[in-house]
Homo-oligomer: A and B are copies of this chain.
Amino acid sequence: MTTPRSKKPARVIWKPGTMIYPLPAVMVSCGRSPAEYNIITIAWTGILCTDPPLCHISIRPERASYDTIKKSRECVINLTTADLAAATDWCGVRSGRHHNKFKEMRLTPVRASKVRAPLIAEAPINLECRVRKVVPLGSHHMFICEIVAIQADARYVDQKTSALDLARSRPLVYCHGKYYQLGSLIGKFGFSVEKKKRKKET
């Protein structure tokens, strides 16, 4: 006989809202030439499919990057870190119509391997993306993107095993309007089953 772990806690009912957290806050770089290069920070992103590797970024049509990405059908999703927190926030608040975001944030555009959009050298991971479809949904349009190549900062990759230690880059976590560090490790995927096995053995 199992018993629930808690009494039903009192609940507050709210009207609908976008309350899925924690999320990444990625810097999306775009543009086909240095004059056009721009960066937009996006939390409305995620993985749509493992095989083929598809992801989305959702953008308001009034943002400068919207037209650039829609026209070029390409972008790079750059993961962010605690060191990049201020640049990440700034690129989400300011517009590329009035600022050269690479220069003002002292970020380094680097040629990508498969797309013309530049990657951001200071990011630990860059996902080179081709836009498959733009889906108008309301305030935001969803860009469905195919991930066509990944680049990683070699400092976080084990030279022998090629294993990535992403936590060492100090990933930036966005949660309900605030940026956080990544905290302490709880367990690996599958740890709940491993634990049970061990229990059975003893």
Q: A6-B121, A13-B150, A149-B13 are in contact. Are A183 and B180 (CB under 8 A)?
A: yes
Beta-carbon nearest neighbor of A155 in chain B: B9
CB distance from A144 to the nearest CB of B (A): 8
Beta-carbon nearest neighbor of A90 in chain B: B192
Contact indicator B183/A150 (Cβ below 8 Å): no
Beta-carbon nearest neighbor of A26 in chain B: B20
Contact indicator B178/A86 (Cβ below 8 Å): no
Name 6 A/B residue pairs within 8 A (Cβ), A-sorted: A9-B153, A10-B155, A22-B171, A47-B58, A85-B192, A93-B193
Interface core residue of A47, A92, A94, A103 (most chain B CB under 10 Å): A47
- Interface on A for B, CB 8 Å cutoff? 2-6, 8-24, 26, 43-56, 58, 77, 79, 82, 85-87, 89-90, 92-94, 103-104, 106-108, 110, 113, 121-122, 125-127, 137-140, 142, 146-155, 157, 162, 164, 166-167, 171-193, 195
Report which of B11, B21, B107, B142 forms a contact with A24, defined as CB distance below 8 A.
B21
Residues in B neighbouring A16, C-beta threshold 8 A: 52-53, 146-150
Copies in the complex: 2
Interface core residue of A12, A19, A151, A152 (most chain B CB under 10 Å): A19
Residues in B neighbouring A18, C-beta threshold 8 A: 47, 50, 53, 55, 147
